[in-house]
Structure 1
Amino acid sequence: MTMKHGKLIAGIIGLVLGIVIAFFLPIPHGLTHAAMVVLATLVTANIFWIFNVIPSFATGLLMLSTWVVLQAVPFEDSFAIFSTTTMWIIIGGLALGAAATKTGLITRIAYKIMSYFPANFKGQSLALFISGTIIAPMIPSAHPKAAMSTPIAKGISDALGYKPKSAASSGLFLAAMWGFFVTEGSFLSATAQNYAFKGLLPAKYQAVLSWGNWFLMMIPWTIIILVAGYFLLSFLFKPKDDTPVSREFINEQLKALGPMSKNEKITAISIIAAIIMWILESTINIPSAVTALVWVSILVAAKVLTAEDFKTRMSWSTIIFIGTVMALGNVMQTVGLTNWLRDVLKPVIGPIIGNIWVAVIVLPIIIYLIKFVVVSLISTGTLVTLALLPFVTQMGFSPALIVIIVTTSVNVWLLSYMNAPFLTGSAAVQDGMASRVSLAKSSIGYMAINIIGLLVCVPVWHLMGIA
């Protein structure tokens, strides 16, 4: 059976299930026909997303439109999310990231950091960890960071004389992905999916997840992820002879970039200013979305970004997809699905969400298992978050912590299909750096380290009054 036929069959099954749920199943006690329509479209949409029947954003738009056509939810409620601050900070953040990539600022930062470290496996893998962590909050999109960082790692690997898909080559690939991608859990602005998961929460819980709070909440996790991750990759992949060689490759790359351009300087100032204003959001009383849009406007006025850049450098399909996913949280509550799901799932989920120590161990394991079936990172996170939303009033900790646990736990790459950004990073180097075995080993290591990192965070969360 071809992939095309598989998608067609999945699509038919999804549509049939949706029709049966919406129009033929008896309406359970406590639900309305509107709730059944929303439940039906959610089932259909997830089948479409899992099997990529049509582009994800198109599935999302069809879901919202179906609510309106079947008169389950008014248009104003179905599409209300597109006028929220969360959507606009995603747009603004992606635009700032596009400027950083376009001007070469991100590449310059990466190579500059690498020039300070020994030109061997341990030195350059550490440099990739550090440069990636510094760059992570500047670009809220995983795929551009993956596509940019792995060719840098390949250049270093070639300069150090490592054979393709050798242990050392695999290690440098993973160091790039670890630094630039895995550390997205450390910063709210490091990926648009963080904003999407945050946007699923009721407004009063979203307020806990400001840029500064997120950063403070994740400091212990970040330290554990970086330190333990560095030693994990060194243990698994460091070559026997790790003698430093010439830094010629890195110096050549820096020389080719030339002096810092005016546009790079303007972009650097804009991003630094935006991050500072995000940290001080509650003090200066300027919403994060407004901050992002102001600095994007300045970049456009300074001609760093053009109208064409907004067409070609912004992933509008991703933005629309995230918006449609975020709409689910409010709509499920409006039609009564949230309360109904709480009653249905309480025997299973109740014991998990009653204690934060149990939650940070059990929830990641559940998410790891779900990833074998649901490929999309954001779809997995959305499913888990939506399943837990009915229990927000019964949690023994702030529901904001669910977003933290979800966003760190969806990033697994045990099997190649589980993680699209890893596929992007691999494609950027023609699948010529990391072996499948190395990916699996490092993913198992990350899965364990992630849980340890979350456990170490719990005392800090207690001190902050959220656990």
Structure 2
Amino acid sequence: MTPTDEHPDEIAAQEQLLRSIDYLRDLDRVDIARLIGSSEDAHFQIGAVIVSEGEVADSLYLLASGTVEVSVRVDGAERSVRTITAPATFGDLGLLLPQRTATVRALTDVQVWRIPRQHFERLLRERPALGLAIARGLASAIDRRDRTRVGAPLQPAEPLRAMMAAPQARRSGLSRVLSIAFAIGVPAALWLLPAPQGLTSAGWHIALVMLGGAIAWLLEPVPDFAVALAMAAAWLATGLAPPAITFGGFTTSAWVTAVAALGLSASMSASGLLFRAALMLLRVFPPTHRGQLAALLVGGVVVTPLAPTVFGRVATMAPVARDLSLALGHSRTSAGSAAIAFAGILGNTILGPIFLTGMVTNFLIIGLLPAAEQARLGWMGWLIAAAPAGLLLLAGSALAVFALNPRSLTRASSVVRRTQERSLGRLSRHELTSLVAVGVFIAGLLLQPVLRLDIAVVGLASLLVAIGGGALDRQTFRSGIDWATLILFGLLLGAGGVLRSGGVDRWIADLITPMARALGHHTYVVLLLTLLVICVRLVLPMVPAGFLLLVTLVPAAPQLGLSGWVVGFVVSVLVLTWVLPRQYEVLRMVRELTDGELFSDRQALAMGVAITVIASLAMLICVPYWRAIGIL
């Protein structure tokens, strides 16, 4: 056999054959090209044995031309099972089994393309979910063959989408192009206009690039981190900011600590520690509907300071919530199942700003504060300042989810939970390592003001514990950490420096200072800020809205008569609320993870309005407390 050197029509034939296999249908062009590039061309004459039953299974075959016979040994004799005529494939069981299960012999002159097993294994390492897709596809094929053999009717085939494929595009190519053109065109049309009073020409152009980014975040033609990359490229290309400032966020302690925090979250998720914690909390609370709602809410309180990634916590919670809803006997999108879903969502999101280690953006706030304020707001100082708001948010969330199904008397069977706990067994070494690493992280943040350590040192020390103990291996470090969020985080940390270099932060402060002075009282200023965040969230999704508001408003906080922490905290809490469900990425994630079984759009809208009102009231109620402890 020799590596292939096909003509274009042969390459097209190979691609068509590969895509005829259910579990390979949605591979991207690059992966298809790599598989075709690794194929070997082979020719067999009539009667030649291509593979023999019992030999090492080492490849998949694409039948380019000819006909082959598949046979198995029965009582020492060969028995024909079926014939295969090109174009077709065979040998797919060889991707999973160590030995061939049948003999394949050429009935005519045959041409095949052989793709070695090791290339599929390499693809599996890069796309772990492909293994499950292969198993499903082969199980379906075996079922069809067995039914055909005994004359049973075939089950209707459902299209199998490979789990490793990229999410389907929600918008047409033309729509994306028009959105990009609009995001670029608006700043370009304003580029030559004179700068507003109080803003330099450079500052005006920096602000226009930011405006283009906001438009792109609104229209979503590309992912949010790609918008941030485009903004950085525009500032560099126009000479508005040097690389040292544009990419300065990646050199900050806040960014390094965020890497460590997400790394610890990945290690806890991969080791099963988060899942174990969720099961333990469900066991502690009564198996009633209300008891399990409380377990999900309190579970969020416990897990949030340990795993500072909203999406990671929610991804762990969603399947648990679905299983719990089924155990309680709730029907699809009923009031009971919606209450379970929203208890899990709120418990793992809205309390994120309460703990310094509850959200990655909390480290952004720290990075934007003056040094004196940073020193005051260590892990415990942050918690003291945020605790009353946390209690109000927790109580309000409980009232909202209990009100969805107040008369439910259902009880959950503990069989599934007990079975899952037994399957997990005792704490594994990796779970213990993750637990120790998180302990080092939180203890370091608590002692950081006393030891006068940089928070990056604390983060790196805990990350090294997780890596050294084997809880965070190379694969988990690469695929378990949300690097897109970290890129966005680093670029927007740098964006704060770009805005300051152009005087945009001072210009924004000068614009809002008269309004803040007219309002006078801190409560009214916080109310204005709350309404501003809600309005922005009506337009922008959670992630870009939060980053954009923090970068622009936290530096301007003194002109509002507020501390930078208060502004950052109010923004962080309110961006986690929603009015329009489609603008909240967390709801989309839960819906995808649970196949839309837990709640409807109407239920999400009602809960979103309720939690927005609760969060707004909590911020206003906390104003006297913040003034009493000297933050305001």
- Shorter-chain TM-score bucket reads over 0.9
- The yes-or-no answer on 1:438 pairing with 2:606 is no
How far residue 463 of structure 1 moved from its aligned partner, in angstroms, is: 3.0
- Counting only pairs closer than 5 Å after superposition, residues 181-330 of structure 1 correspond to structure 2 as 181-238=349-406, 240-330=407-497
2:287 and 2:412 in contact (8 A); partners too: yes
1:364 and 1:409 in contact (8 A); partners too: yes
Residues of 2 paired with 1:315 and 1:351: CA distance?
A: 43
Residues of 1 paired with 2:232 and 2:207: CA distance?
A: 12
Corresponding residue number in structure 1 for 2:84: none
Counterpart among 331, 341, 352 of residue 498 in structure 2: 331
- The yes-or-no answer on 1:11 pairing with 2:176 is no
Higher relative contact order at CA 8 Å, sep ≥6: structure 1 or structure 2?
1
Mark the CA change 1:390 to 1:127 in structure 2 (over 3 Å): closer, same or farther. Answer: closer
How far residue 441 of structure 1 moved from its aligned partner, in angstroms, is: 1.8
- Counting only pairs closer than 5 Å after superposition, residues 2-401 of structure 1 correspond to structure 2 as 3-22=172-191, 24-238=192-406, 240-351=407-518, 354-375=520-541, 377-389=542-554, 391-401=556-566
Corresponding residue number in structure 1 for 2:630: 465
Residues of 2 paired with 1:350 and 1:248: CA distance?
A: 61
Residues of 1 paired with 2:368 and 2:214: CA distance?
A: 16
Corresponding residue number in structure 2 for 1:409: 574
How far residue 466 of structure 1 moved from its aligned partner, in angstroms, is: 0.8
Residues of 1 paired with 2:488 and 2:453: CA distance?
A: 27
Residues of 2 paired with 1:390 and 1:85: CA distance?
A: 18
Residues of 2 paired with 1:5 and 1:201: CA distance?
A: 42
1:34 and 1:71 in contact (8 A); partners too: no
How far residue 164 of structure 1 moved from its aligned partner, in angstroms, is: 1.0
Residues of 2 paired with 1:462 and 1:415: CA distance?
A: 33
Mark the CA change 1:7 to 1:351 in structure 2 (over 3 Å): closer, same or farther. Answer: farther
1:147 and 1:428 in contact (8 A); partners too: yes
2:296 and 2:343 in contact (8 A); partners too: yes
How far residue 163 of structure 1 moved from its aligned partner, in angstroms, is: 0.4
Task: List per-residue Cα deviations over 1:193-239 (Å, max 9, x = no partner).
Answer: 2223443444444444322222111111111111222122112223x
- Whichever residue aligns with residue 535 of structure 2, its letter is L
- Whichever residue aligns with residue 314 of structure 1, its letter is I
Task: List per-residue Cα deviations over 1:5-57 (Å, max 9, x = no partner).
Answer: 232212112212222333x1113344333212211211111111221222222
Over the matched positions of the two proteins, sequence identity in percent amounts to 24
Bigger Rg over Cα: 2
TM-score (norm 1): 0.93
Task: List per-residue Cα deviations over 1:378-403 (Å, max 9, x = no partner).
Answer: 32233434453564333333221100
Residues of 1 paired with 2:393 and 2:508: CA distance?
A: 34
Higher strand share: 2
- Whichever residue aligns with residue 98 of structure 1, its letter is A
CA RMSD, aligned part only?
2.0
How far residue 429 of structure 1 moved from its aligned partner, in angstroms, is: 0.5
- SS of residue in 1 equivalent to 2:622: helix
Task: List per-residue Cα deviations over 1:267-303 (Å, max 9, x = no partner).
Answer: 1122122112212210121222211111111221122
Return 5+ residue gaps in structure 2 as ranges. 1-169
TM-score (norm 2): 0.70
